[in-house]
A and B are shown apart, each in its own frame.
Chain A
Amino acid sequence: MDTVRQAARRALEDRLEIRLAGEGGQGMILAGVILAEAAAIHDGLNAVQTQSYGPEARGGASRSEVIIARGEIDYPKVMAADLLLCMSQEACDKFYTQVKEDGCIIVDSTQVSRLPSHRAIAVPFTQIAQETTGRRITASMVALGFLCGLTGVVSKQALEKAVCDRVPAGTEEMNLKALAAGFAEAERLRGNGSEPVCT
């Protein structure tokens, strides 16, 4: 049995497939761009980011897919996710089947009430965001911090640099705070001995 961290590291040797899914306006595409930039520019890995969204500016399904690898990346989309982040019930219902057997599902329990599996890791990202920054929109940064803290796919420093480069000017501090809250949540989970394992 591997921990999520070991499974992610192993996948990285070939290709690590991450899907960030939610609704338009939740920042899923920005989160994908930040994750890809942290991996590709600051951590020296290879990364490709793609997105799929509807014509709406807000609402409607929106997702971002990030492939990270040590070598070249061919197919730029997720075939079966190693890591799936669901920020809405609809995203969860739609994508939980397209996850690898040893893949990891992380859901925002503020938004998702019906969990697809007892193995899904439920964290109230939106609630944490609200408490930490007062802005629900920073839930994507909390989730990103949690995802990276849990799996170790990119370093905290790399992620922080990418956040500062990509978020709107003047919001860096707020977003870093949200990110740190996500990392802290992951540390808490790992520290209390209940680190998730992949079966």
Chain B
Amino acid sequence: MTIQLLQGNHACARGALTAGCRFYAGYPITPSSEIAEIMARELPRVGGKFIQMEDEIASMAAVIGASVGGLKAMTATSGPGFSLMQENIGYAIVAEIPCVVVNVMRVGPSTGIATHPSQADVMQARWGTHGDHPIIALAPGSVLEAFELTVKAFNFAEKYRTPVLVMMDEVVGHMREKVDLPDAGSVEIVNREMPSVPPEWYEPFGNPPSDVPPLAPFGEGYRYHITGMLHDPRGFPTERLDEIQPWIERIFRKIDRHLDEICMWEEDSVEDARVLIIAYGATARSARQAIKIARARYGRKVGLLRLKTLWPFPEEAVERAAEDVQRVIVAEMNLGQMALEVERVVGRKKVVRVGRADGQMVTPEQIVDAIRAPQPQAVSLRVAVPW
């Protein structure tokens, strides 16, 4: 296709359209609004629907409704809206409704700083909605990847009947880069499985060998019940012990058995590395710059593990990459969130947190300082955040 200078938010919207998204409900919020703008313009042209809702609670509800109606559906927001969406994200997890939620992260908590970047919603992505549940969350690090991972998000949502979160930061969302987006025909698209049985035999929450029951769209003769209450294979509320535990185990299992496919990461200069940087999103670009500086100027052997999937946490990849290094630096635009997961996997002693929460990118210099520091100053946030 044609080479163009495109914004991350634009590429995300294009990814959604390529993946087959035909419904968007949302409430505009900086720094995600371009996604809504583009979807509002483009969806009607391809026979889709765009609705601006009264708030983010309703937006998420509309997305769920559209998906049950048979369309691939999405919304995009930022921290304050993401908070409002949590209840219905939980509903979508429990009702096993495929959908995509994009969060272009800005500084929080609360209204925070609307126009400045952050990566401080990554733990909220994991546990923002209550109760035990699995979740898939992806973090693009470039404009091209905003396209690619949005397509992936729809594919995972459809394949595993679950909400998928795209956790973009403002830098990636608003950054313009030279990209050559792939043609629609060359992109792998996954569609949800439809029931192959007649309506009277259909179990919308059954337990097939794949662990993902087919999803019948409403209005095509399959009458079934959907609820946020824990339910039996037909969708009706249940408190039967022999139905609840198997159900919750299944919704975890349907994700866990596909970690090989879902957990995505990229390694850079790790072969001879004595220090490993773990980063995601725009911060991984600071890390790559830091590696160039540390290797060229100071002869330090440093490598990068860039996480494209945040949840489920790619713990095997982290464990393997961190095995032979002396120090693991976790760089992120927060004061240590994914660092907690890294510490869980590799132990606290090796881990240095390099973070900031002032709406600025982690700079390459900050990371280079952490590489050169004589002692890994683990855990202490104050010490690890010199600026």
Contacts and interface: CB of A to CB of B under 8 A. Distances in A.
Most buried by B among A53, A73, A76: A76
B24 to A, nearest CB: 24
A75 B115 CA distance: 19
A79 interface: yes
Contacts, number: 62
Most buried by B among A49, A50, A55: A50
Contacts of B288: 74-75
B285 A74 contact: yes
Chain B, interface SS category? mixed
A41 B178 CA distance: 7
B115 A41 contact: no
B175 A49 contact: yes
Interface in B96-145: 114-116
B285 A37 contact: no
A54 B282 contact: no
Given A40-B5, A49-B5, A76 B115 contact: no
A97 B292 CA distance: 24
A148 to B, nearest CB: 16
A46 interface: yes
A55 B4 contact: no
Given A47-B178, A50-B175, A75-B289, A41 B5 contact: yes
B30 interface: yes
A36 B285 contact: no
A79 B363 contact: yes
A39 B363 CA distance: 25
A75 B176 contact: no
A47 B5 contact: yes
A77 interface: yes
Contacts of A76: 171, 175, 177, 282, 285, 361
Interface residues of A, number: 21
A171 interface: no
A52 B285 CA distance: 18
B365 interface: yes
B174 A33 contact: no
B364 interface: yes
A55 B115 contact: yes
A150 interface: no
A104 to B, nearest CB: 22
A7 interface: no
Nearest to A40: B178
Contacts of B5: 33, 36-37, 40-41, 47, 49
A41 B179 CA distance: 10
Given A36-B5, A41-B3, A74-B289, A48 B365 contact: no
A188 to B, nearest CB: 31
A132 interface: no
A51 interface: yes
A79 B364 contact: yes
A74 B286 CA distance: 7
Contacts of A41: 3-5, 178
A47 B4 CA distance: 11
Interface string A40-78: 110000111111111100000000000000000111110
Contact of A54 (B4, B115, B175, B363): B115
Given A53-B115, A75-B286, A48 B174 contact: no
Interface in B265-292: 282, 285-286, 288-289, 292
Nearest to B111: A55
22 contacts: A36-B5, A37-B5, A40-B5, A40-B177, A40-B178, A47-B177, A47-B178, A48-B176, A50-B175, A52-B115, A52-B116, A55-B114, A74-B286, A74-B288, A74-B289, A74-B292, A75-B285, A75-B288, A75-B361, A75-B363, A79-B289, A79-B365
Interface of B: 3-5, 30, 114-116, 171, 174-178, 282, 285-286, 288-289, 292, 361, 363-365
Given A49-B175, A76-B175, 9 more contacts: A33-B176, A40-B5, A46-B178, A48-B176, A52-B116, A75-B288, A76-B171, A77-B363, A79-B365
Interface of A: 33, 36-37, 40-41, 46-55, 73-77, 79
